[in-house]
Chains A and B, each alone.
Chain A
Amino acid sequence: MINLLLAEIKRSWIIFIRYPSEAVTGIVTLTAIFLALILGVHTVVGGGVSPMQFGSNLDALIVTYILWGMSLFALGIMAWTIQNEAQTGTLEQLFLSPYDPKVVFLLRALADLLVQIVLMIAAVLGIILLVTRRTLHFSPGVIPLVITILLGTYGLGFILAGMTLLFKRIQNVIQLAQFVVLFLVAVPVENWRPPLQWVGDLIPLAPGAGMLRQLMAPTAFGHLTTQPAFDPWQFGIALLNGVVYFTLGLLIFHLADRIAKARGLLGGY
């Protein structure tokens, strides 16, 4: 499986560097949107406030923005892959493999995320930090939380990918799902108290995203917290949330794959 992951990374990397105009456009767009957001906040708060004075709010904005960007990409990439491969006439070749299609699409999605988004975010983050002259306080505890969020996101991504196998073109659903994800990563479940908190624990991505915000920018969005930096119990809930939605996504994709093969839907659109 590691061979396939490396082959997928190599493939994504080649396509990324072979068409640099697309990569540059992506970086410029992501940076421009973020700078527009900063400018918007700056205007609202007042012209005399320097980016340094945003303090943790700016950190939280950067974290949420990057998280949102990664989640959007991870959410739609498998569905886009299926749609593009079907249009270009290579989809069936991906199913003609001894590897399970779920493995193939997951590794493709991971490779694309790693090469394109991580690289883009690194570039965007570099530019942002240069412009705002800030450094993010990065805790190693962030990584497992990002993994829980990505698990949930890929789970939702598998559901969209399964829908694409069956219904072929679902651009509108993907676009709608992106706004839903924005809500899911931004909903402040970390401030909710029981019984609402228990409901929050069931919302996809939300427990991990809330914990990540607390960890990276505890005073963000005006709410102060005295909670410890890393709560293992809360992390367990976030991880379970991610695993449950990931498993659900795999099951739905598996089912869609069986239905597509039974109805003869795999193929060029």
Chain B
Amino acid sequence: MEKNICYVNKIQSFLLNLKKYRNILKLYKKIIWVIIFLIFCFVMKKGVSFMPGDNTILLIDDNAINRKILAHILSPEYDTVEAENGIDALNILNSGTYHISGIILDLVMPKMNGFEFLDIVSKAEKFKNIPVIISTANDDEKNEIHALKLSAWDFVAKPYNPKIIKYRLKNAIERSQLSAFEQLKYMAEYDTLTGIYNRVRFNSAVHDMLMANSLKKFAMIHFDINRFKLINSFYGNDEGDKLLKWIGTKLKETFSDTELSVFGRIEGDVFAVCTLYRSRKSINSEIESLTYKIKSFATAFDIVLTYGIYVIEDNFELVDTFLDKASLASKSIKGDYVRFYEYYTPSMSLEIEKEQLITNAMSDALKNGQFVLYFQPKYNLLSNSPSGAEVLVRWKDPVKGIIPPSEFIPVFERNGFISKLDQYVWESACQYLRKWLDSGINPMPLSVNISRVDVYNPNLAKIIYDIVQKYNIPTSLFHLELTESAYTDNPQSIKLMLKELHSYGFLVMMDDFGSGYSSLNILKELPVDVLKIDLRFLSGEEIAGRGETIVAAIIRMAKLLKIPAIAEGVETKEQADFLLQIGCEFVQGYYFSRPISDTDYEKLLASVNNSQESRLYSTFDSRMIVNNAHIEKILCDSFQPICIFEYDGSNIDLLRVNSSFHKEFGFGDIQVYGNIIKNVKKEQIKSLLGFFDSVVKNRKCAEFKFSIANLRGDDIPIRMKLFYLHQSNTKHILLGLLSNITYMNEITEEIQKYKNELKKP
């Protein structure tokens, strides 16, 4: 025990000394920089060049003798290169052959005179810092003034005075080098686009601030612009740059006058602020204020920022460490549509490490077939028979074993790899369907997932259709599941995409219905074909019974909307019983079957009797039948009341009626009728059901007379001609032509009375 304490003390002492040494090292670094600067100044004073050919003077004069004299005057301190006119001089400058530290320029020259040359050079970024000394006649004041206006640095008069020429040249060169040094220094410390600190200067400023206030607490805030690359792509880099400059301006506005804060642009669209930490509330408030200001940038796109905050525990740690941790916090909420800032917790570091390992391995895994398809059957709750399956993907790493989707799917969605994986899954699913079809198995539909990243692809519908076509798979066997959160990202383009998918004949399910924040609005706006309800509603609820009530309401709503519903995540018998009770027909979950391998699914397929099993897609297709264009025409064009029924052997549900039906039986929601049996006289119910059974059995049109009550409660005698349309799972769709035979009955009664009268003696 004592030994351990001794080791701990030694380590503590070492760490304390390490901090001390670090501080001393930093001081030495500063001293070294000062010495370098002093040497630089000394060297400049002495006129010593830094590079070979660094003291080359460009002599521009159309007269060779003048150039010769100047060259003679300037040697041995300077090398010279000569040009006869402005054009030749520009060629020499542009060639980059010489490192020109000064120019002596005559004004009167052919081809390009000195003024023209000066004008060009003073505006050229790479040349404007080269000092230009004008060589003039001694009575040429007017030209001297003009040249000075064009940014000439100085002038020398003819006849040449060697001492004056050399001094003026030396002074001009020194001034230009100092200016260049200052520029370099500025560029080394400041981001040239936004004018705020760059990463290097930010880091050192933060370090200085923390050292000077070592007992105070600080927070590092890291933020960036969501999907900045898309902004650049759609609106151009100029617009992107304007936004970055705007952010720099807003940072200055927000933090310049704040005591103890440093801000800067780290890279790309990433910015950081290190500021005094008083409380989470004050940091949150600063972030909200900054966000509000940034978002006031006038633009066609919505600016979304994500912030990560690290509350600094040890001011002596490296600034890069603070940035990394704040960055991890920011990454942890990427893609979250509610939270836009998050505080770092230690577990985030582990998550990012894991994510990196996944990212490193994903491409090879796809290439090497490590992603394997599994199938989770869906079941008809009434018949307890399978009705298709959802395709799921598992990662079978040869070393790590099975990696569950919850670990890699979010990573792939963040880095975009999900699109590749999804296409692989779609194609593999089609390959399975083709294989089963070719071997004579009548497969049930498979449903595949579309990630919310895929929906950004404007060609998605075509891509999926092409894959299905490639394997000659009927679209009715290939269902698509789209998670609700994908709708919230871009509802307009989703709408168009759904329209296109429907035009190809695909059935689209809304996955995880109810788990998002705008489910009902989405349902109102988008033509989804099936709802998949996540039974997480039933778990973890704070108010007992509320989850069940909501699920029951959703099932009822789905029935009213004629949208089939599947409850997924069914794990217990109690849940299954509850769902049966509330009329949910289709289920998926571990209670019925966990996801199974292709081999096991094929065995399941083989064991199912196709003619008797429930077909999930048939139920969904009945919706299409009910809304079919031909049916629509029949309903609209007929003056006779027409109904479309759904019959399951004991209930006759009204699906659709035409306006003539309303006129005949009263206006109102057809759901008021619901199961029409309740509106039929008790003594006629058995006969009516028998009539429906016979039409279903024989698939032939037949007539039947019965009475049905209208909304006022009056019994109306009806003659119905019933046509069989389609089987839908265990239900049958039939069309009925109704005739009100009240008048006919009255006439018949009267005729019978008359006949009876005639028979009387």
Binding between chains A and B: no
Identify the B interface with A (CB < 8 A): none
Identify the A interface with B (CB < 8 A): none
